[in-house]
């Protein structure tokens, strides 16, 4: 290559054309095509290109057209590298063809339906060329915006979260994401339609789901997703969960009570299922501390109370549900561990509530959260005991501690103490020291996941009851539990193998 004949390279444009209606192209897109010597577009082997048809009015006879024809559209190929190999070779060859034009000083516009950087084929060219040539990406109206516009319903408002999902994800993954989000758009329907429908149903959101086919293109169709015949769905269609703010209140024959746990602290610990149940509830019932962890939603009623009146709270929730409300009863941690699930089921088992549906959703309990922060102290058999003698006599607690310690179980101790219950930890330590070595590792986990989190490993003999409060969970090791100092602090773990007796 000699310098004096070298000319400056052409410019690469990735041109977003919008969702289909040519009048939704931007002025910038039209200008980019006008400036180009070469117009390139991807197509399947049948040769028709939706992108080209959108831009057709702007393509001149003197434009060089580069049709980038996918060698395979399904997963069957005789390429030695399989589908991936065939596609990779295709992208390399396509990029090389465009590079040859650019090297010759020709400006190249790669057409992209919708937006070029949004699930677009253009990106494969961009990644191979943009670092080598001057490049401009012209944004386009995506199918997300087009679908919402054609439905004519708000998509996301205020604090709502929009999740965009490819329908090619596994059904369970889709269901989890759909349960946890407010609004959603599922792309790439076609053959994935039945699976996406099942995921919407699994997430309890099929009734809200809308369907948009070929938004702004000829043959457009919109409607309730539940009414769509799966065999009629093309690739150019999306599923939409619109904004739920101001959504028509659902009139239900029967409500339900869902008992959920927030995990030990903030939103990081919520399961997608719980997040979904909290968002879908009409009423939230629970101890104020736990309700405060749940994001406020317009239209939802909150019924906070103190921590004492569990059966009244349960009755209140069941009464609301009987009147058709969807009620979430909120606990910390897991709702079935020293928490509201039992209280709700106790009351629900009475004749008068026999018809009210009750579901319990699992949550991350404090023992699991604390154990993870400390290492793996619950790696072998363990027992869970509450040290609170408000609901059972201390003699029962002491007997259980003795039995569990004699069986060499690791102990997860909930409710070890509070402002008014101060002596239990000292007594428990004394009792356990009779059955365990003074060096036994004890995890003192306070406010796990919260702002005042502290997780320490101490010797059983050094356990100081004054350090323990209502937000603390204790894990007392077995004879096998090991504490090791590592960079970053002390970790405790219990081996999975127990020595032969
Ligand atoms: N349902 C809850 C337990 C309720 S009993 C759960 O599954 O976690 C309340 C006790 O749980 C507290 O006294 C404390 O021992 C423990 N606990 C709850 N959240 C905690 C946290 N973030 N850190 C440490 N202990 C916690």
| Residue of 333, 386, 417 to mutate, ligand 1, most atoms within 8 A of C-beta | 333
The Cα–Cα gap between 456 and 445 comes to 6
The Cα–Cα gap between 20 and 440 comes to 69
Taking the mean position of all CA atoms in its chain, how far away is CA 305? Answer: 30
| Residue of 261, 332, 453 to mutate, ligand 1, most atoms within 8 A of C-beta | 332
Q: Which helix (H) or strand (E) holds 187?
A: strand 183-187
User: 382-386 and 183-187 as β-strands: parallel, antiparallel, unpaired?
Assistant: unpaired
Ligand 1 atom with the shortest distance to the CA of 363: 7
CB of 474 closer than 6 angstroms to any ligand 1 atom: no
CB crowding 275-284: b at 16 or more within 10 Å, else e:
bbbbbbbbbb
Helices vs. strands in the chain: H and E counts, helices first? 14, 23
| Residue nearest atom 19 of ligand 1, based on CA coordinates | 264
pLDDT tens digits, one per residue of 167-203:
999 999 999 999 999 999 999 999 999 999 999 999 9
pLDDT tens digits, one per residue of 81-117:
788 888 999 999 999 999 999 999 999 999 999 999 9
pLDDT, residue 177, reads 97
Measure 479 CA to ligand 1 centroid, in angstroms: 25
Ligand 1 atom with the shortest distance to the CA of 445: 24
| Domains (range + CATH), the chain | 12-141 (3.40.1010.10), 145-241 (3.30.950.10), 256-361 (3.40.1010.10), 367-493 (3.30.950.10)
Q: Which of 242-251, 306-315, 483-492 reaches the highest mean pLDDT?
A: 483-492
pLDDT, residue 2, reads 44
- Spell out the SS3 assignment of 30-91: HHHHHHCCEEEEEECCCCCCHHHHHHHHHCCCCCEEEEEECCCCCCCCCCCCHHHHHHHHHH
Query: Is the model's pLDDT at 309 over the cut of 90?
Result: no
Mean pLDDT rounded to a whole number for the chain: 94
Q: Where are the alpha helices (DSSP H) in 407-454?
A: 424-433
Identify each DSSP E strand in 188-263 by its residue range: 210-213, 221-224, 237-241, 256-261
Tokens of 362: 């699992």
Query: Is the model's pLDDT at 252 over the cut of 50?
Result: yes
Q: Where are the alpha helices (DSSP H) in 168-264?
A: 171-180, 193-202
CB of 453 closer than 6 angstroms to any ligand 1 atom: no
pLDDT, residue 74, reads 61
Query: Is the model's pLDDT at 283 over the cut of 90?
Result: yes
Which sign does the torsion angle of CA 100, 105, 110, 115 carry? positive
Measure 337 CA to ligand 1 centroid, in angstroms: 9
Query: Is the model's pLDDT at 73 over the cut of 90?
Result: no
| Residue nearest atom 4 of ligand 1, based on CA coordinates | 338
Taking the mean position of all CA atoms in its chain, how far away is CA 38? Answer: 42
Measure 332 CA to ligand 1 centroid, in angstroms: 7
């Amino acid at each position: 290559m000699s310098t004096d004949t070298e000319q400056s390279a052409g410019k690469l444009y990735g041109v977003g054309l919008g969702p289909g209606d040519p009048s939704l192209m931007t002025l910038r897109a039209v200008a980019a095509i006008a400036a180009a010597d070469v117009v390139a577009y991807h197509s399947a082997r049948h040769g028709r290109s939706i992108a080209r048809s959108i831009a057709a009015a702007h393509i001149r006879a003197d434009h060089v057209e580069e049709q980038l024809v996918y060698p395979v559209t399904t997963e069957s190929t005789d390429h030695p590298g399989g589908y991936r190999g065939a596609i990779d070779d295709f992208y390399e060859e396509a990029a090389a063809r465009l590079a040859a034009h650019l090297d010759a000083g020709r400006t190249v516009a790669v057409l992209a339906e919708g937006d070029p950087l949004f699930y677009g084929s253009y990106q494969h060219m961009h990644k191979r060329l943009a670092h080598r040539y001057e490049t401009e990406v012209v944004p386009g109206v995506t199918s997300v915006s087009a679908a919402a516009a054609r439905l004519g319903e708000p998509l996301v408002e205020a604090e709502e979260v929009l999740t965009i999902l490819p329908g090619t994800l596994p059904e369970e993954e889709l269901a989890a994401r759909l349960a946890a989000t407010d609004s959603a758009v599922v792309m790439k329907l076609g053959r994935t339609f039945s699976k996406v429908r099942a995921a919407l149903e699994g997430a309890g959101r099929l009734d809200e789901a809308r369907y948009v086919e070929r938004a702004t293109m000829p043959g457009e169709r919109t409607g309730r997703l539940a009414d769509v015949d799966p065999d009629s769905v093309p690739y150019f269609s999306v599923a939409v969960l619109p904004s739920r703010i101001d959504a028509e209140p659902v009139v239900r024959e029967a409500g339900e009570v869902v008992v959920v746990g927030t995990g030990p602290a903030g939103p990081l610990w919520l399961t997608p299922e719980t997040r979904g149940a909290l968002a879908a509830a009409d009423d939230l019932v629970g101890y104020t501390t736990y309700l405060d962890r749940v994001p406020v939603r317009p239209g939802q009623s909150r019924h906070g109370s103190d921590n004492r009146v569990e059966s009244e709270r349960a009755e209140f929730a069941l009464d609301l549900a009987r009147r058709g409300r969807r009620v979430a009863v909120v606990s910390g941690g897991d709702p079935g561990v020293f928490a509201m699930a039992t209280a709700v089921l106790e009351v629900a088992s009475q004749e008068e509530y026999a018809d009210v549906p009750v579901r319990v959703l699992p949550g991350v309990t404090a023992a699991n959260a604390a154990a993870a922060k400390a290492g793996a102290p619950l790696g072998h058999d363990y027992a869970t005991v509450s040290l609170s003698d408000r609901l059972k006599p201390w003699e029962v607690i002491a007997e259980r501690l003795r039995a569990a310690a004699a069986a060499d179980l690791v102990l997860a101790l909930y409710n070890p103490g509070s402002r008014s219950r101060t002596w239990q930890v000292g007594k428990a330590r004394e009792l356990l020291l009779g059955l365990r070595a003074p060096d036994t590792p004890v995890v003192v986990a306070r406010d796990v996941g919260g702002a005042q989190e502290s997780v320490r490993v101490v010797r059983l003999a050094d356990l100081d009851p004054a350090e323990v409060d209502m937000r603390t969970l204790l894990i007392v090791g077995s004879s096998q539990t090991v504490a090791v100092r590592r960079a970053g602090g002390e970790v405790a773990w219990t081996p999975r193998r127990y020595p032969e007796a």
